[in-house]
Amino acid sequence: MTGLFPILLAVLALALLGYWIGRQRGLAMRRGLTIRIGTVHSLPVYHGLYVALTALLPAVLVLAGWAIVEERLVADRVIAAVPVDFRPVSEIDRGAFMNDVRGLANNALEAAFNPAATAVVPLYRATSEAFDLAAGVVAMTLLAVGGIWAFSRLRPDFRARSHVEKLLRWLLILASTVAILTTFGIVLSLLFESWRFFQIVPAAEFLFGTHWSPQTAIRSDQIGSSGAFGAVPLFWGTIFIGAIIAMIVAVPLGLMAAIYLTQYADARVRRVLKPMLELLAGVPTVVYGFFAALIVAPAVRDFGVWLGISNASGESALAAGLVMGIMIIPFVSSMTDDALMAVPAEMRDGSYAMGATRAETVTRVLVPAALPGITGGVLLAVSRAIGETMIVVMAAGLAAKLTINPFDSVTTVSAQIVALLTGDQEFDSAKTLSAFALGLVLFIITLLLNIYALSVVRNYREAYE
Amino acid sequence: MTATSAPRRAPTNWTAPAMQARVAVRYRRERLFRLAGLGALCLAGLFLAFLLFTIVRTGWSGFRHSEVAVSVVFDAQALGIDPAVARGPGGVEAIRRADFNALMQRSAAAQLGPAADVVSEGAWLDLRAAVLADRGVLGQTRTLWVPVRSNIDLLAKGKFDENEAEVTRGVSNEDIADYHYLEARGLIRTDFNEIFVSAANSTDPELAGIWGAALGSLLTLLVTIGAAFPVGVLAAVWLEEFAGRSRWTDFVEVSISNLAAVPSIIFGLLGLAVFLNFFNMPRSAPIVGGLTLALMTLPVIVITARAAIRAVPGSVRDAALGIGASPFQVVVHHVLPLALPGIMTGTIIGMARALGETAPLLLIGMRAFVADAPKGLTSSATVLPVQIFLWSDDAQRGFVEKTSAAIMVLLVILLLMSSVAIYLRNRFENRA
């Protein structure tokens, strides 16, 4: 694949040359004639662009398609050349074997795990080069044919601009489909891998089982080698940290912060305090995680011991939830801000006219009126908190427990995904696949929360419009 | 009317003590409420200040390190280098083959006496660098300041309580004795840590640096911006200027707003399943990390670019169309240049988020131990936030200050990026 990159550069350079030639042709057309409007349909730029794009697009498409299939074709050839006794059979073995070969060929590896890999490295290099060369020849031919054909069509009355704009229109549509493709990519990859997981572990056991220990035994004949995949402790840990502890911190603080900023603070104070909240929102989660692990978790443990809780842990739900709550404050605050701003001014003015103090206006009029908007904002905050990963990975630990003791260590869906997919992995084990099933659950929950919350917020806004 | 028939109520006597007391209670509640609001903000501010203070307090010493003075006899014969060859075209190869490690150990043993083992295992790299920089040192004696082991470094910075019992202290009695031996003779000094800003990761804290991770971040962000910016802007132009309302555009819009809310770790799963397992792209490579982050930042760019394009006054479009520009010319010549500051603001905000992102990159293997700075888009690399995570996970005490120092670097870069974004936003708002 890396061999295709110079070819791509050459194709781009030649397309640039095509642009220059086409533009010269367009300029020549104008020079030959006394310029009157309508004598030459398009500006020289469009003649140039027409030639360049007609030459470029087929060649780039061929190269892109080739880049996708090339590795597979090369792998087939290389593996066919391996002596039958050493030949990898299953898809995973093939992948591992080819990784060895690729690593050796790029000098990234010193020695391969599979001795047969060393022997086929020259073949791999030769095949790759031959395939790259073939792709290059095809791309260059298409480039030349396209360019010459486009050039031969250039005439003063040729509608180059319309053609170029039609092509660009397709480019815009293509760009906008990337978002759809990404969504499909997420859904399909999660569904596909989860489906494979559910063939090993029944969905009911995964969703309702209460014992989680994904460690698989090394040898397949060991007892209990299948691990246990009851994800309820993970779901509970996620809700406990993200939806309960973090929200107990974030909702009152975020709400009060937004009320102070919108109702009390004058412009000068707002200019100082608003960027501070933005700063709080801009700190990377890994920094919060480090802070939680270094400062907050030990403090929480000492506090737990002081309270007389014997099993207070160095990694606790409370530490992770507290820091996550503080991370979410700016989010809750800005959602509340929007909701309060959407309340019609007449309601506030009416309340003041009746002699209510600001506090009474806020608590009896504004907050009740804005409640749907605030609720929607809090739900969005929950969806953000349960998807948050680094703080939990660094401060909450990996022990899957069903506990309501905030000083105990719990784990969450996102933390388990990281734990399952880092380190050694083999791609067909239930342990690895379970990460995708967890991802699917997380995706569905956050999606539903978001759709519901956004519809609540939208209905609320429309009610006052 | 019922009002006339109802008995008239006496007007409220505001000066009566009972009424005065009620008003006082209400005003007190008002003040408390106001204070609660201010308190919430102050609490958030205090937390931020405490966080930054903690990071800076533990991190500033990461930018300094301790060195010990060793005078080294660069004996070309003992090193096995022919001075003539060293000056010739193959000189670099010859120098790289020479055993500087043995020379370092000999020199340290000869001069530091009982404290010879304070010298870092990577100190010989300094000797080699000295020869590579100037072949003239061959055959001469030079005094070099070379790095010491992490524990000695931490002792010099006062990070250990020497009165604590040896088992819980984290540093042995021998190390403390060595340190005092050197300190008494003036052989140890602490100055700017050039290793930290120029090296890649290492298993020894005193030899670990952030340059490799910073370069990895840069390469990854280049891929991200190269993929997400054009696609995002083109999609925004399509949705705002050309697409009418149709089921297809609704579908695109729903996809974008949903993608904006998907947890970042899901993008890591996507990158793992699609880029690594399906397309067989290399693990731990900046190109895979960059593309994964590009998919994640795409919605941010599309949403802000759409807002910026929408903010361009319709009169500009009408005027350009009126004098005969085609719709594409209107967009390229007028709308995009006017919307560009807004688009840039959104892009920078998206890039800042991508720069601080850790979780998806862990899943595509960017947590691998990488001892060299990445050489290209397909070589193994790590990025700043992942480096922070890896160091924070390391049990060696010397990595605590490195972690905080790396966080300081990351925060400064992020602050610079948001300053540029705020500057652009202000300029944009003033003009519109």
B392 vs A290: CB contact, 8 Å cut-off?
A: yes
CA dihedral B381, B383, B388, B392 (to 10 degrees): -30
- What is A228-463's CATH superfamily? MetI-like (1.10.3720.10)
- Give the pLDDT mean for A360-377: 92
Matching residue, tokens 């003041």: A352
Residue A228, beta-bridge partner list: A213
List all residues of chain B from 320 to 349 with a beta carbon under 8 Å from chain A: 326-328
Chains A & B: contacts with CB separation below 8 Å: 254
Domain spans, chain A: 4-158, 228-463
Residue among B27, B234, B352 whose CB faces A171 most closely: B234
Structure tokens at A21: 């030639």
Find chain B residues with C-beta within 8 A of A422's C-beta. 362-363, 367
The share of chain B scoring above pLDDT 70, in percent, equals 97
Q: pLDDT of A424-457, one tens digit each?
A: 555 567 788 889 999 999 999 999 999 898 888 8
Of the residues B221, B269, B303, B333, the best mutation for testing chain A's interface (the one with the most A CB atoms within 10 Å of its CB) is B269
> Is domain B211-431 classified as CATH 1.10.3720.10?
yes
Q: Which residues pair with B64 in a beta bridge?
A: B192
- Write down the ipTM of this complex: 0.89
Residues of B in contact with A263 (CB under 8 A): 37
Minimum Cα–Cα distance from B263: chain A residue = A387
- pLDDT (tens digit per residue) in A39-62: 778 888 888 889 888 888 888 888
Q: Which of B262, B277, B389 sits opposite A446 (nearest CB)?
A: B262
Lowest-confidence region among A340-344, B69-73, B92-96, B230-234: B92-96
Residue A127 has pLDDT above 70, yes or no: yes
Which residue of chain A comes nearest to B241, CA vs CA?
A: A172
> Is the confidence at residue A147, as pLDDT, over 80?
yes
Distance (Å, whole) CA A29 – CA A157 = 10
Distance between A329 CA and the closest CA of chain B, angstroms: 8
Task: Give the whole-angstrom CA distance, residue A175 versus residue B242.
Answer: 13
Q: In what order do the strands lie in the sheet with B141-147?
A: B141-147, B64-73, B188-192
In chain B, domain spans: 67-191, 211-431
As a whole number of angstroms, the distance between CA A174 and CA B232 comes to: 11
The verdict on a CB contact (< 8 Å) between A253 and B230 is no
Grade residue B351 by pLDDT with cuts at 50, 70 and 90. very high
- Cα distance from B64 to chain A (closest Cα, Å)? 21
Interface of B with A in 99-158 (CB under 8 A): none
How far is the C-alpha of B113 from the C-alpha of B104, rounded, in Å?
Answer: 13
Residue bearing the bigger pLDDT, B148 or A225: B148
